[in-house]
Amino acid sequence: MIHITDELEDSAIDIAFAIPALRHVLSWIYPFTKHARIFGNFMNHVRDAMRSRRSGKGPKGPDLLRIIMDEQMAALKNHLETASDRERYLDDQDITSNIVILLLAGYEAMSSALSFLTYLLAKHPSEQNEILKEIDQLFPNRGSQQLSYDELRKLKRLDMVVKEGLRLYPPVPLTVTRRCTQDTTACGQFIPAGVNVLASSWLIHRDPVLWPNPEEFVPERFAAGSSERYPSGSYVPFGLGPRSCIGRELGPLIVKSVLIQLLQTCKLSLLDSVASPVRPHSRALTLVPKDGIKIRVERRLTREAA
């Protein structure tokens, strides 16, 4: 996956976004690129996993692939009687494509979120202490034992920190894309029907009209009751509406779990050579630190050392 995302940066995708007229030509070139071969190998792994599960050799647990395959079998048993049924039916190619996209999107987005949140926690060491203090107060004598789903949801300070981190550095800065269905005027700008409209979560999250002192890291923005002051659509790290990111619930929980494991065992601080604020860079669709982030990681000998 790392090879795939690195290759994306210099791939034809960037050109296709910059010069839409070339998309048709590039679609013929793409199958012969290194990225296409790597992507194809990844899809083959998913197909192998599907064959393994159908033969009864794969894992039995109810993961995403199993759930989709079970729905496929249920649809086949119902004989797809109507045209509408056939339109909704997912064949093997549909399943493979969706699983690959979900895996790649989830991996890259979580990697981006963790990079910037680690930077913010290293820059604001007091937040590390606040998070650990909350864990000790709610779950004394747990040590470094992993917290459950319900326990993670009780960590309000961690939730505030993660939300503020996603506001400052949304993993996918060009999140919301919609097609205008009728002629309309918004903010004095005429938009004809059929035009694609793209809303940047980066710009929305740093609009001083919506967010006072938008460049500052202020987790208290998301304290209980505080977030109600912000209008709908002002916080969109995972998009907006029925087509928002499918990982909007799972992604933050995974990020929180990783951060807790890290903070319980390590103390983070920035090296003097790290630029502040860190310079972001959009690699294809995902936001990453332009020059990387160098962080000093020290083992916590005891919790009191926090």
Specify the pLDDT at position 260: 92
Q: What is the pLDDT along the chain (306 residues), one digit of tens a residue?
A: 444 445 444 555 566 656 666 666 667 777 777 777 877 887 888 888 888 888 877 766 666 777 778 777 777 766 655 545 555 667 888 888 877 777 766 777 888 899 999 999 999 999 999 999 999 898 887 666 778 878 888 999 999 999 999 999 999 887 677 888 999 998 888 999 999 888 889 999 999 999 999 999 999 999 987 767 788 889 999 888 777 777 777 788 889 999 999 999 999 998 877 667 788 887 667 888 888 888 899 998 765 444
Of the candidates 40, 41, 60, 58, the one whose C-alpha atom is nearest the C-alpha of residue 49 is 58
Specify the pLDDT at position 287: 87
- The answer to whether residue 85 is domain-embedded is no
Which residue ranges make up the annotated binding site? 245
Specify the pLDDT at position 2: 47
| Distances from the Cα of 44 to the Cα of 37, 41, 92, 93, angstroms | 11, 5, 12, 11
- The answer to whether residue 17 is domain-embedded is no
Which residue ranges make up the annotated binding site for heme? 245
Specify the pLDDT at position 208: 95
Does the bond joining 170 to the residue before it have cis omega, within 30 degrees of 0? no
Specify the pLDDT at position 305: 42
- The answer to whether residue 185 is domain-embedded is yes
Specify the pLDDT at position 302: 64
Q: Could you tell me the two tokens for 162?
A: 């993660």
Domain that holds residue 157: 110-305
CB-based contact 94:268 (threshold 8 Å): no
- Distance CA(221)–CA(229), nearest Å, equals 9
CA angle 160, 147, 152 (to 5 degrees): 25
- What is the CATH classification number for the domain harbouring 254? 1.10.630.10
- The answer to whether residue 25 is domain-embedded is no
CA angle 149, 219, 169 (to 5 degrees): 85
CB-based contact 288:281 (threshold 8 Å): yes
- The answer to whether residue 103 is domain-embedded is no
Dihedral of the CA atoms 88, 93, 95, 100 (nearest 10)?
-140
Instruction: Round the CA-based radius of gyration of the chain to a whole number and report it.
Output: 22
- The answer to whether residue 34 is domain-embedded is no
- Distance CA(90)–CA(189), nearest Å, equals 40
Specify the pLDDT at position 132: 93
CB-based contact 219:161 (threshold 8 Å): yes
Specify the pLDDT at position 80: 56
Specify the pLDDT at position 306: 44
- The answer to whether residue 95 is domain-embedded is no
- The answer to whether residue 164 is domain-embedded is yes
Specify the pLDDT at position 148: 80
- Please count the structural domains in the chain: 1
Specify the pLDDT at position 9: 46
